[in-house]
Amino acid sequence: MNQVNQANQANQVNQVVPMRPVEDHLADILRTVRVLAPLELDLDQALGTTLAEDVTSPVPLPPFDNSAMDGYAVRAEDVGTAPVTLPVIDDVAAGDGRLHALGPGMAVRIMTGAPMPAGADAVVPVEWTDGGTARVTIGRPVTKGNAIRSAGEDVHSGDVVLPAGTAIGPAQLGILAGVGRRRVLVRPRPRVVVISTGAELAEPGSRLAPGQIWESNSYTLIGAVREAGGEGYRAGIVADDARSFIDQLDAQLVRADAIITSGGVSMGAYEPVKEALAPLGTVRFERVAMQPGMPQGFGVVGEDQVPIFTLPGNPVSSFVSFMLFVRPALRKMQGRPAEPTPTVPAVTGAPLRSPAGKRSYLRGVLGPGGVVTPVLRQGSHQLAALAAANALIVVPEDVTELPEGAAVEVIPL
Ligand code: AMP
Ligand code: MG
């Protein structure tokens, strides 16, 4: 076949299979992945998970009127003519469960968090007094309700304090404990297995033989999985043959809510992931209109229809692909909104170039004032340059050049 014919054929192939927009590929993924079944966890295990129930309080918070300060519980009207001196009839500390009552013209010494004695309607801070224990001289009048935390002023009994779908961070753990919960129904962290393919890959920590490089994608991807709320498992390295890949995949499926592979999906020979999965018909391989990361695959495998993301092998490509496609899916699995990874507006600190027809995700450093400067090395293998960046600069498909100072969207890393 002559060269012209070959070129025509290649063009025809390109026309038949156009590149898919990033949004379409993501939409397929988000349509397919399911929210994980809820699980009851001890509070100790719940940080970073998502609530799968509306949590209500069985009591008002605070549960009883109590003092907001160390001082003296009084009737405000008794100290209206301050300075006055009152007898101190009792002491109430936090945790005191006795019933206290205060008659007219008396004071009770009270500590922060201690229940208000019946009959008292204000607390005089100790700083306004002589600090007496038998008698106290109060230097200034107080208003009714001063330094009292009223029952129910934070939460009413029966109130929903956290709705289902809430991400559990430190403060959310606090309110869960604060309403007496020990266990809580959550969406579990998705268990994500990462399989790296490549005959050239060697374990970090080992000596490199000629032609080898140290395997790095799984470390990046597992870190990214954790940051996205999942548990990552490294399945190690699989050489470039489809049989070994299938064996490893079968072995891993039992413990996975999702699988990520890296490498073996491009156009070359020895593409084990594509060779192994394409015949199943449940995984779709395609070219997505993006740079880096054009060759993508997604589908389901195994009896349980476990979602599988087959990411390209170049280190920057696999990480960018994770941010665009895997992260939103993991969030959906956790019961969070199914939406693209968010961007923030910025201004480019240097002119930008981008190929026509592809959305670029350039590595950049986002600095103060929202100025983002692209790093110098933008190759999809240049892992050190990725590590020096803290943002991906998004350049739309139809834009090939942007001047310094142009508005851009960035994905903070
Ligand atoms: P592939 O997608 O398998 O053709 O790989 C593309 C490029 O990424 C090649 O240069 C590979 O050596 C490199 N690569 C693939 N997998 C990894 C990995 N797990 N860690 C580091 N580099 C990788
Ligand atoms: Mg490879």
Residue 99 has pLDDT above 80, yes or no: yes
How is residue 129 written in tokens? 């007094």
Residue 293 makes CB contacts below 8 A (sequence gap 6+) with: 311, 312, 314, 317, 318, 320, 321, 324, 361, 380
Position 270 scores a pLDDT of 84
Identify the pLDDT of residue 176: 98
How close is the Cα of 274 to the center of ligand 2, in Å? 11
- State whether 350 and 289 are in the same domain: no
Does residue 169 fall inside a structural domain?
Answer: yes
Q: What pLDDT is recorded for position 13?
A: 47
> Does residue 8 surpass a pLDDT of 50?
no
Cα of 89 vs centre of ligand 2, distance in Å, is 82
Phi/psi for 119 (5° steps) reads 95, -25
Residues 25 and 137 in one domain: no
**DSSP bridge pairs for 393:** 362, 410
- The residue whose CA is least distant from atom 3 of ligand 1 is 263
CATH number of the domain within which 407 lies: 2.40.340.10
Last residue in a domain, options 133, 164, 187:
187
Quick check: is 294 in a domain?
yes
Q: What is the mean pLDDT of residues 344-357?
A: 97
Close Cβ partners of 209 (under 8 Å, ≥ 6 residues apart): 202
What's residue 269's pLDDT? 83
Q: Which of 287, 303, 333 is the last residue of a domain?
A: 333
Residues of the chain above pLDDT 70, percent: 96
Q: Is residue 9 pLDDT above 80, yes or no?
A: no
Distance 146 CA to ligand 2 centre (A): 71
310 C-beta closer than 6 A to ligand 1: no
Q: CA distances (Å), 318 to each of 312, 313, 381, in order?
A: 5, 6, 10
* pLDDT on residue 16: 58
Regarding the beta carbon of 313 and ligand 1, being less than 6 Å apart is answered yes
- Hey, which of 193, 194, 217, 271 would you mutate to test ligand 1's pocket, going by the most ligand atoms within 8 Å of its Cβ? 217
pLDDT of residue 174: 98
Ligand 1 atom nearest the C-alpha of 216 is: 20
222 and 311, same structural domain?
Answer: yes
pLDDT, tens digit, for every residue of 60-86? 999 999 999 999 999 999 999 999 999
Residue 26: which pLDDT band, with cuts at 50, 70 and 90?
A: very high
Closest ligand 1 atom to 196 CA: 19
Provide mean pLDDT across the span 137-166. Answer: 97
- Looking at the CA of 270, name the nearest ligand: 2
pLDDT at 135: 98
Q: Is the dihedral of CA 29, 365, 355, 278 positive or negative?
A: negative
The answer as to whether 4 is a domain residue is no
Please give the average per-residue pLDDT across 21-40, as a whole number: 98
Segment (H or E) for 385: helix 383-388
Which domain does 79 fall in, by range? 66-149
- Judge if 161 and 271 occupy the same domain: no
Q: Give the contacts of 184 (CB within 8 A, at least 6 positions apart).
A: 40, 41, 43, 46, 51, 53, 55, 168, 176
Whether residue 392 is contained in a domain is answered as: yes
Q: Which ligand is nearest to the CA of 317?
A: 1
* CA–CA distance, 137 with 153 (Å, rounded to integer): 31
Pocket test for ligand 1, best of 195, 197, 212, 213 (most atoms within 8 A of CB): 213
* Together in a domain, 376 and 276: no
Rounded distance between C-alpha atoms, residue 219 and residue 28, angstroms = 26
- CATH number at 29 reads 3.40.980.10
Other CB atoms within 10 Å distance of the CB of residue 281: 8
Distance of CA 182 from the midpoint of ligand 1 (Å):
45
Q: How far is CA 44 from each of CA 204, 226, 262, 308, rounded to the nearest angstrom? A: 33, 17, 33, 30
Question: Residue 169 sits in a domain of what CATH number?
Answer: 3.90.105.10
Q: What is the pTM of this model?
A: 0.87
The per-residue pLDDT of the chain, averaged, comes to 95
Per-residue pLDDT at 55 exceeds 70: yes
Both 267 and 312 in one domain: the answer is: yes
Indicate whether residue 293 lines ligand 1 (CB < 6 A): no
Q: Are residues 167 and 285 in the same domain?
A: no
Q: pLDDT per residue over 246-294, tens digit each?
A: 999 999 999 899 999 999 998 888 899 999 999 999 999 999 999 999 9
Residue 3 pLDDT > 60: no
Substitution candidate for ligand 1 out of 266, 314, 317 with most atoms within 8 A of CB:
314
pLDDT attached to residue 6: 43
**146-155 per-position pLDDT tens digit:** 999 999 999 9
Instruction: Please check the confidence at residue 24 and state whether its pLDDT lies above 50.
Output: yes
- Listed in sequence order, the residues at least 6 apart from 260 whose beta carbon sits closer than 8 Å to its beta carbon are 192, 193, 194, 195, 221, 225, 308, 309, 311, 322, 326
Q: Do residue 51 and residue 93 come from a single domain? A: no
Please give the number of the atom of ligand 1 that sits closest to the Cα of 317: 8
Q: Is 272 in the pocket of ligand 1 (CB under 6 A)?
A: no
Residues 375 and 264 in one domain: no
The answer to the question of residue 158 being in a domain is yes
Same domain as 166, residue 223? no
State if residue 264 touches ligand 1 by the CB under 6 angstroms criterion.
yes
Whether 204 is covered by a domain: the verdict is yes
β-strand partners of 136: 86
pLDDT exceeds cutoff 60 at 373: yes
Into how many domains does the chain fold? 4
- Whether residues 44 and 164 share a domain: the answer is yes
pLDDT tens by residue, 202-240? 999 999 999 999 999 999 999 999 999 999 999 999 999
Residue 80 lies in a domain: yes
End position of a domain, from candidates 141, 171, 187: 187
Q: Report the nearest atom of ligand 1 relative to the CA of 262.
A: 16
Co-location of 245 and 326 in the same domain: yes
CB of 315 within 6 A of ligand 1: the answer is yes
Is 76 a domain residue?
A: yes
